[in-house]
Amino acid sequence: MVAQPDDRSCGPTCLQAVYRYFGREEPLEALIEEIPQLETGGTLAVQLGCHALRRGFSATIHTYNVQLFDPTWFRGTTTDLRERLAEQARVKPDDGRLGLATTKYLEFLELGGRVEHDMLEPALIHGILAQGLPILTGLSATYLYGHPREVPDEDRPDDIRGEPVGHFVVLSGHDPSTVSVTVADPWPDPEVPDQLHVRPLFRVIAAILLGVLTYDANLLVLRPR
């Protein structure tokens, strides 16, 4: 994985790494241009999923963002996610982030993407990785690495004024014997030249769930068609 060129491009950088894993070369500059950033900076996993669907991949998002998806929508097979998302956006018109995310998820579903809400447990992570499929995940970098929170728009640490930071990484390997996973992180770290970190799986799972604070909390799994 190459290093992300700025503070806001972790999503496209991770997507490029997953594309490369599957043998598709995409210039990072083009991906950054094709996947628009949010007004607050960064991207949503569903935007990355839409890009992959248009490139001929299948895409599944395992979501734990209960700010956007109600858990009851995934009980049984009768719920129309598109209908529920649209109705929610209608009754919450003042939530700009929800409105944008809804628009992108409706697009994702229209393109053939799948949204699931499985229990986030070691077996799910191990099962996906055991198939040789990397996992692009949006999580809380603040919790994963124990870093200070950061002041929005300034990207500087401040344990008092700061807010939690969301981030994209790729889970690329696992070791069931030590209950750990390999995290490929696009953020440049001079102490980790290959940008690969081995982290306890339960800490990674907690960081993914805490990603709900930043509209992350998801796993994006791509498969070539």
**Residue 77 pLDDT greater than 80, yes or no:** no
**Rounded mean pLDDT, 87-99:** 94
pLDDT one-digit tens code per residue, 100-151:
999 999 999 999 999 999 999 999 999 999 999 999 999 999 999 999 999 9
Separation of alpha carbons 24 and 42, rounded Å: 23
- Level-2 CATH architecture, domain 10-224: Alpha-Beta Complex (3.90)
Average pLDDT of the chain? 95
**What is the value of pTM for the model shown?**
0.95
Tell me how far the alpha carbon of residue 215 is from its chain's centroid: 9
What pLDDT, on a 0 to 100 scale, did the predictor assign at position 194? 81
Instruction: State percent of the chain over pLDDT 70.
Output: 99
Amino acid, res. 212: V
pLDDT one-digit tens code per residue, 25-75:
999 999 999 999 888 778 999 999 999 999 999 999 999 999 999 999 999
Q: Are 221 and 62 in contact (CB under 8 A)?
A: yes
At residue 14, the 3 state secondary structure works out as helix
**Rounded mean pLDDT, 196-221:** 97
66 sits in which H/E element: none
Separation of alpha carbons 32 and 168, rounded Å: 14
